[in-house]
Structure 1
Amino acid sequence: MPVIERIIKPKTHKGKQAILKREPKIIENAKQTFFIKGLKTTEVLQSCMKNLYILKKPYGQILQRRNDIRPFEDPTPLENFGRKFNASLFVLINNNKKRPNNLIIGRLFEHTIMDIVEFGVEDYKCLTNFKLEKISSDIKPMLVFQGELFESNHEYRRIKNLLIDMFQRETVKQIRLQGLEHVLSFTANDNCILFRSYKVLLKKSGTRVPRIELAEIGPRMNLRIRRTKLATDDLFKQACKKPKELKVKKKKNISEDNLGKTLGRVHVGTQKLNTIQTRKMKGLRKTLTERKSERKRKQVITEEDNAKKIKVNTDENNI
């Protein structure tokens, strides 16, 4: 017998709004992240998790209780948390003798595990170690990926995509120059990713364009790649599928050049210059002699047509 799922309708307006928030949308909201502690952690890991949470504010939530979760063996608890908090990203910290200072970052698709990457945190420095003015919260960061591995290696390409998902915020149509305050840099090294955070300083340059300098504000860490569990190509393709409403329809005879200018091609039919209505100006008016000659020409044409008709009629009568 097939199992029939019972659909529970909301009884209150607040319950209805909560269900509508969880429904899929054409333009999705910024992705939520939940942070989890393992059974054993260290001060370095807890500080690292808090700093990552600060970078994710307000799209993050820290769970205070410790959980015995092993995502590579049994990801079911993570899927339940994702369903509960309506979140598609997670950060898990744990520590053991075999894998010290373990940082696990992953994402879910339709409340099932999609990608998991396990890092080892090395050379960590928190935000308080940098005595500079920090950026304000809820600032959209600029993400910089350096290194050929992010383009040539399949595993690094997926990790790059995961990091973009982790640190990007809502899409915006316009942005001002003063809003570009924060830079997150990821440099691919030998089986390691160097994570750096900078503040953009706009200095005077004597021209309208300011001189830009970067000042490191933290956190700083080296992420050593230990284990990965990536989604199949089919699942990844399904997760990246765009709805029909967002697909841009191709317009005929319209293209863009290298500078971003829109170019259009117009197909014009045969023009009848004699019948084009032009502006009535004195210079375009016909003279008296031209009008008289035109009348005579029309009169001659009509007389010739009448003569032809009379000739045709007489020939028919003779027959």
Structure 2
Amino acid sequence: MLPIREIKPKNARTKRYLDDKGPQNVENPRTTLFLRYSSASEIIQLVLKDIHSLKRPLCIKFDKKNTIHPFEDVSSLEFFSDKNDASLMVYASHSKKRPHALTFMRFFDFKVLDMMELLVDVDSFRSLSQFKNAKTAVGLKPLLAFSGSAFESPTANAYTLAKSIFLDLFKGPDVSNVDVEGLQYMIHFSVDEEENESVKPMIHMRCYLIKTKKSGGTLPKVDVEEMGPRIDFRVGRIKEADPEMWKEAMRRPKNLEPKTKKNVETDPIGDKIGRIHMGKQDLGQLQTRKMKGLKRSRDVVDENFDDATEGASEDGGVAVESDKRAKLGE
């Protein structure tokens, strides 16, 4: 279990601040903090600016240079996370060994949960401003699509981690209802099939505007137009989450868990099944439907009648046998 740091508030204002930052039954929308290294190329700064434009308004961007190495020392990043109440962070850096690098980080309790480094391909990059078309309004939720078997791998790998981070980064606040008119753009991530074990396939990020046109029927015709940015990532270093910290981060409050009802279950399809307990029923007095086809024929002698006759013949068989012949003669 993680150590819980307890801070005793000195006044009501501090108490309200700590209660707002503390664990909630329904957490606030995640804020993303954008930082840069002391040396950052022009390309990586454009990438950082474009991702910041897609994330607005749930983001904070600092332009000051920082000499922080995320995979070596995370104490300064945890300080920034605690100070700005940010659970996501994007860190831009550039060096000869790792050019045009973006490091995506997730935090839990203002401690680094996991990290992933993605290197931007300069040749295929196109910024948001290079696409001369309309842009979406600030604060709209995008449609997120993932294509590629690597994203759906049953075993955890770099691509399943990338999918999880991208979902947390771009999904925005949780809502119960979505207006169809607000679905104006889509972010699509795709990855090629792995051909060589030594070379990992790239992750392609594309953003499209969604436009609806008249089709002459009840359903409109949907067209997509690339909006930008166009970014291709190469997978770099990753830091997976600690199992105990991940378990604690995935724990849900007990009051939010659905209450189980006795004798009510849900099958794998999603149908609700109920179990009813009833007492023992006497089926001897059950009234059934009478049909001519179910009646016994006069030509067939009842087996039960024969059994009863044989049992009675041991005591007074002559009288019973004569009565039987009289009935058959009738």
TM-score, length of structure 1 as denominator length: 0.77
- Which 5+ residue runs of structure 2 have no aligned equivalent? 193-199, 282-330
Cα separation, partners in 2 of 1:6 and 1:226, compared to 1, 3 Å: closer
- For 1:178 and 1:256, the matched residues in 2 are separated by 35
The answer to whether structure 1 residue 253 and structure 2 residue 264 are counterparts is yes
The residue type equivalent to 2:186 in the other structure is V
Q: Which residue of 1 aligns with 2:32?
A: 33
1:43-54 map, 5 Å = 43-54=42-53
Give the corresponding residue for 1:159.
162
1:268, CA displacement in angstroms? 6.7
> Secondary structure at the residue paired with 1:160?
helix
1:256: how far off?
A: 6.7
Q: Distance in 1 between matches of 2:63 and 2:218?
A: 49
Question: Which runs of structure 2 are paired with 1:145-184 in the superposition (5 Å)?
Answer: 145-152=146-153, 153-155=155-157, 156-184=159-187
How far has the Cα of 1:254 moved from its partner? 5.2
Q: What residue is the counterpart of 1:141 in the other structure?
A: 142
State the 1:61 CA deviation: 0.5
Query: Structure 2 counterpart of 1:253, which letter?
Result: V
Match of 1:96 in 2: 95
Question: 1:50 offset after TM fit, Å?
Answer: 1.1
Of 203, 215, 218, 1:205 maps to 215
2:264, 2:272 within 8 Å by CA — same for their partners in 1? no
Match of 2:18 in 1: 19
State the SS of the aligned residue for 2:120. strand
SS in 2 for 1:198: strand
Counterpart of 1:154, as a letter, is A
Aligned-partner residue type, residue 141 of structure 2: K
Give the secondary structure class of the aligned counterpart of 2:162. helix
* Structure 1 residues 166 and 213: CA distance shift in structure 2, 3 A: same
Q: Deviations over 1:240-271 (max 9, x none)?
A: 1211122122333354785x665656667799
SS at match of 2:125: strand
Structure 1 CA distance for aligned equivalents of residues 202 and 254 of structure 2: 39
TM superposition shift of 1:8: 4.2
Partner of 2:114: 115
CA distance in 1 between partners of 2:218 and 2:267 (Å): 29
Give secondary structure in 1 for the equivalent of 2:29: coil
Q: Distance in 2 between matches of 1:53 and 1:171?
A: 19
Q: Return the alpha-carbon distance in structure 2 between the equivalents of residues 6 and 193 of structure 1.
A: 42
Q: Measure, in 2, the Cα distance between the counterparts of 1:257 and 1:79.
A: 42
Pair 1:218-2:223 in alignment = no
CA shift, 1:26, in A, is 0.6
Q: Is the 8 A contact 1:257 1:263 kept in 2?
A: no
Match of 2:292 in 1: none
Distance 2:8 2:128 in 1: 46
1:283-311 CA-partner distances (Å, limit 9, x unpaired) = xxxxxxxxxxxxxxxxxxxxxxxxxxxxx
Q: Quote how far apart the aligned CAs of 1:16 are.
A: 3.8
In structure 1, C-alpha distance between the alignment counterparts of 2:36 and 2:255, rounded to whole Å: 40
Q: Distance in 1 between matches of 2:272 and 2:210?
A: 33
Offset of 1:36 from its aligned partner? Answer: 0.6
Match of 2:315 in 1: none
Question: Contact between 2:185 and 2:209, CA under 8 Å: does it hold in 1?
Answer: yes
C-alpha spacing 1:235/1:9, structure 2 compared with 1 (3 Å) = closer
The one-letter amino acid paired with 1:112 is K
Distance in 1 between residues matched to 2:107 and 2:6, nearest whole Å: 25
Offset, 1:100? 1.1
The answer to whether the 8 Å contact 1:115/1:231 transfers is yes
Could you list the per-position Cα deviations for residues 27-67 of structure 1 after superposition, in whole angstroms to 9, with x for gaps in the alignment?
11111111111010111111111111111111110112100
Unaligned runs of 5+ in 1: 272-319
Change (3 A) 1:10 1:198: farther
Partner deviation per Cα, 1:70-117 (whole Å, 9 max, x = no partner): 011111111111111111111111111111111111111111111111
Aligned partner letter, 2:264? N
Q: d(CA) in 1 for partners of 2:189 and 2:74?
A: 27
Q: State which drifts further: 88-97 or 185-194.
A: 185-194
Deviation at 1:7, TM superposition (A): 4.0
Report how far residue 232 of structure 1 moved. Answer: 3.1
Contact kept in structure 2, 1:253 and 1:266, CA below 8 Å: no
